[in-house]
Structure 1
Amino acid sequence: MKLRKVTAASAVLLALSVTATACGGDKKDDGGSSGGGKKIAIGIKYDQPGLGQKTPQGYAGLDVDVATYVAKKLGYNADQIEWKESKSADRETMLQRGDVDFIAATYSITPERQEKVDFAGPYLLAHQDVLIRADDSTIKSPADLNKKKLCSVTGSTSAQNVKDKLATKAQLQQYPTYSACLTGLQSKAIDALTTDDSILAGYASQSQFKGKFKLGGFKMTNENYGIGIKKGSDLKAKINKALEEMVADGSWKKAVDKNLGPAGYKNEPAPKIGDIKS
């Protein structure tokens, strides 16, 4: 009788052991700084054509290409990437909570942000610029925006910067989205759209807009796009090395030309790691 009790107990323990092992085998590695895990979580924008966009075919844009290259150098294949939408207002919080391993989302490096998170890079030097109709010969400098209808999205500071510093008589028009601004630009309801030149080039590179718009080339500000990581993470050095390799092997220039080139975007040379232009 005792023998049967011991045998039954052993069977129960064995079953529990097998169950625990099976459950443990399903646990996903979040990736972190070691690389080679089952998944790595990367934050991008979902709504910026040419930079970070979620499409029916998947994810596309310069930020996506940069992030994919970096992830590969960290030991992750494309199918091991878990893309997460990183809206501008959520980026620092997502990194601090550990929701993502890093963020590549037109993330300009600023002193205020550096107090909260670390940055690798920069990997692109962008500038505030304007987008105008391809046949417009009246806007050749920021001063020519005086008395022109200047559009930017609601809540953006870009248009206000122009009015405050460069064209005090510009007529500001706030639209809910960049796409709405583009439609207004096409219909001549507005004369110019302003934000980062990389963002403008991405929107203008869409197939329905090709050849209809051009960049002013005014370079009104410097925007140093970096890859955001949690403060103190050892990923910084690894990502910086990957970015250097991306430039060296030609992949960076290829990605810029593919995603932003159709709008006539004239990119700055690849920035040196740690070189932040004020």
Structure 2
Amino acid sequence: MVAVASLGLTGCTATATASVSGKSAIVVGVKADQPGLGFKAQDGTYSGFEVDVGRYIADHMGASRVTFKTVTSDNREDLLRNHTVDIVLASYSITPDRAREVTFGGPYYVAHQDIMVHRDETRIRSVRDLTGRTMCKASGSVSTERIVEGLGIKPRLAPAPSYSDCVAKLLDGTVDVVSTGDLVLAGFAARNRSRVKILNAPFTDEPYGVGLRNGDIDGCEGVNRALTRMYQDGTAIRLLQKWFGASGITLNPEVPEYEGCS
């Protein structure tokens, strides 16, 4: 991890049409049901780390108006393509398949996939203990595939629409395990400290990227410049501590190495 602004510009040679760069009003797509990352209150306001980072990016790209709209893991690409949102910050792990559909700025943070279980669970200590246990599979997420296909571990899978539904299943005993990025788990764990725990046994990297419309290279460059400044001026670690400092997970204050705009 090195804090070098030029990393975000590597490979950025083309210019996209209808770029988010320079827009006076930017719509940021965020999750509405992930406490600590993106959460929508009953009064319609959004809060969380990704909400704050999205606002910081939009402000530093010159937007005078920033609004937020709910996205899900299933519709992020569609809402970018049809211009419902301009950028997406929604625990959006950068993968080769996704990078063929959208252009990614960042990552703005590299999370680590971990495991959340019942507070009194003692038999599950690492990902290797998941064989035969019931694990929730959130729609549109790649976290399950990293365990089943990537590591060859075979839990029993229980589908759910989202990670908020997965956590509800964990709390009512329908599933034994929820596994995804530690920032996602930390927000839910903070709300249910007496009933669940995170193992703190990470086993993958989860580079969370800023999704832009496919080919928006100018926008990607602008996002990376904003992210570099966010880490250099201390905003990134302040926001990480604000939202996750009490969770007990290890937080990295260094700017991630960017994927490059292409």
Range class of TM-score, shorter chain: 0.7 to 0.9
TM-score between the two structures when normalised by the length of structure 2: 0.78
Shift, 1:157, TM fit: 5.2
| Identity among equivalent pairs (%) | 34
Q: 1:256 aligns with which of 232, 235, 240?
A: 240
Tell me which of the two structures has the higher relative contact order, counting C-alpha pairs closer than 8 angstroms and 6 or more residues apart. 2
Structure 1 unaligned blocks of 5 or more: 1-29
1:55-75 CA-to-partner distances (Å, cap 9, x unmatched) read: 135101111010011112123
Distance 2:185 2:230 in 1: 24
Structure 2 unaligned blocks of 5 or more: 1-17
The question of 1:150 aligning with 2:135 is answered yes
1:111 maps to which residue? 96
Contact 2:189 2:198 in 1 (8 A): no
Shift, 1:178, TM fit: 3.1
Distance 2:32 2:157 in 1: 27
Contact 2:143 2:179 in 1 (8 A): yes
The question of 1:192 aligning with 2:177 is answered yes
Count of aligned positions: 241
The question of 1:33 aligning with 2:21 is answered yes
Q: How does 1:211-250 map to 2 (within 5 A)?
A: 211-230=194-213, 231-250=215-234
1:77-127 CA-to-partner distances (Å, cap 9, x unmatched) read: 5xx212122222332333333333222111222222222322211111122
Task: Specify whether residues 71 and 144 from structure 1 end up closer, same or farther in structure 2 by C-alpha distance, changes over 3 A only.
Answer: same
TM-score between the two structures when normalised by the length of structure 1: 0.74
Q: Mark the structure with the bigger radius of gyration.
A: 1
Shift, 1:130, TM fit: 0.9
2:37 maps to which residue? 51
Secondary structure of the corresponding residue to residue 222 of structure 1: strand
Secondary structure of the corresponding residue to residue 225 of structure 1: strand
Shift, 1:165, TM fit: 5.4
Distance 2:126 2:28 in 1: 38
The question of 1:71 aligning with 2:58 is answered yes
Flag the structure with higher helix content: 1
Q: 1:201 aligns with which of 186, 197, 200?
A: 186
Task: Specify whether residues 185 and 275 from structure 1 end up closer, same or farther in structure 2 by C-alpha distance, changes over 3 A only.
Answer: same
